[in-house]
Amino acid sequence: MDAEAAAAKDWRTRAKERLAGRFILLDPLRRNFRDREIDSANEIVEFDLQDVRDADLLLVNYCKPSLGTAMEVFYASHDLGKFVIAFSPLSYADCSPWMIRFCTKILPDLESALTYIERHFP
């Protein structure tokens, strides 16, 4: 949320290029809810939760605190028992204890996260 469109798309494109053909990839940006009208809020949340339910694992860009991302991580990990692989430039001391607890693994960059996924989810 509130990420520059290019930045939000760039890492997802790189991940899709690397993982395509090995996984069915669900990109929440495939939907366009940029109007931010009040009546689309429930749709946004429901579609995101459905994506989490449909996913085998989550790849998360934890570059800054995000309430929505944290809730999706909690739901995936705690409620559904799914693997959550995050990448983050934040130091351990700067990470939320909630993200540390509910992400299966937090790696320093996208490349490391993709390598981890390729190694452990062949």
pLDDT digits (tens, 9 = 90+) for 44-80: 899 999 999 999 999 999 999 999 999 999 999 999 9
Q: Which CATH architecture has domain 5-24+38-120?
A: 3-Layer(aba) Sandwich (3.40)
Q: Where are the alpha helices (DSSP H) in 36-106?
A: 41-54, 67-74, 97-102
* Inter-residue contact 59 to 105 (CB < 8 Å): no
| Whole-prediction pTM | 0.88
First CA to last CA distance, the chain: 30
Q: What is the pLDDT of residues 75-122, one digit of tens each?
A: 999 999 999 999 999 999 999 999 999 999 999 999 999 999 999 998
